[in-house]
Amino acid sequence: MKSQTKIYDVAIIGSGISGSSLACILAKKGLSVIIFEQNSHPRFAIGESMILESSEMMRSLAKFYDVPEINYYSSVKTATKTVNSYGVKKHFGFVLHQEGEVATDDDVLQAIIPDKPYGHEIHIFRQDSDYLLLQAAIKYGCEVHQKTTVEDITLQKNKVIIKTPKENFQAKFVVDGGNFGSIIRKNSTSTPKKCEPKPEDFLRI
């Protein structure tokens, strides 16, 4: 097995919206960042409806860390200027379903998403948003390995070994942005199967 000698500051597993946003922030700050993605972009991803908290989070991250790309999907106003495809979201509705009963007006909750101050929220096309954010990460200096599955990680005293089918990589910290495919949760030799992290795991995850 080939092993790289370079030790990256941070290795990120997964280039979804979270992995790539973090990569942008860290790379822009001057850290050496490497991302591993088992698929290749553009790729299908579920989860498109922005909500107040996620929009505000993206707005805040973009401003605080000076990474404007993270703000592109936070409202219609920013999306209009920057991306091609999105859906406008003006309300969020819920109906309480009781088995065997017809819903009444009292079972309905409709939240209006106002145009002010930031603009209506949006439905994003994750194949576009995630691709764009990964491109931004590359622009800020991040190294990306697509079609590269992280098979396992091993925590050592001052570094983490990241195992992929082709070669092993080393980093000071690893972030698992694999979501459903989380390697740390599934089968890391450093993490107990029940996913009960030890204090030293928290230092790098």
Ligand X SMILES: Cc1cc2nc3c(=O)[nH]c(=O)nc-3n(C[C@H](O)[C@H](O)[C@H](O)COP(=O)(O)OP(=O)(O)OC[C@H]3O[C@@H](n4cnc5c(N)ncnc54)[C@H](O)[C@@H]3O)c2cc1C
The reply to whether 36 sits near ligand X by the rule CB under 6 A is yes
Q: Which of 15, 129, 170, 188 binds ligand X (CB under 6 A)?
A: 15
Q: For residues 34 and 43, is the Cβ–Cβ distance under 8 A?
A: no
Q: For residues 85 and 128, is the Cβ–Cβ distance under 8 A?
A: yes
Return the residue matching tokens 């979804």: 16
171 to each of 2, 89, 158, 189, how far by Cα in Å?
16, 40, 9, 17
CB nearer ligand X, residue 36 or residue 101: 36
The reply to whether 14 sits near ligand X by the rule CB under 6 A is yes
Per CB under 6 A, which region of 30-38, 66-74, 86-94, 98-106 contacts ligand X? 30-38
The reply to whether 87 sits near ligand X by the rule CB under 6 A is no
The reply to whether 49 sits near ligand X by the rule CB under 6 A is yes
Closest CA to 92 of 58, 60, 53, 126: 53
The reply to whether 48 sits near ligand X by the rule CB under 6 A is yes
Question: Which residues contribute to the site for ligand X (CB under 6 A)?
Answer: 13-19, 36-39, 45-49, 54, 149-150, 177-179, 181, 183
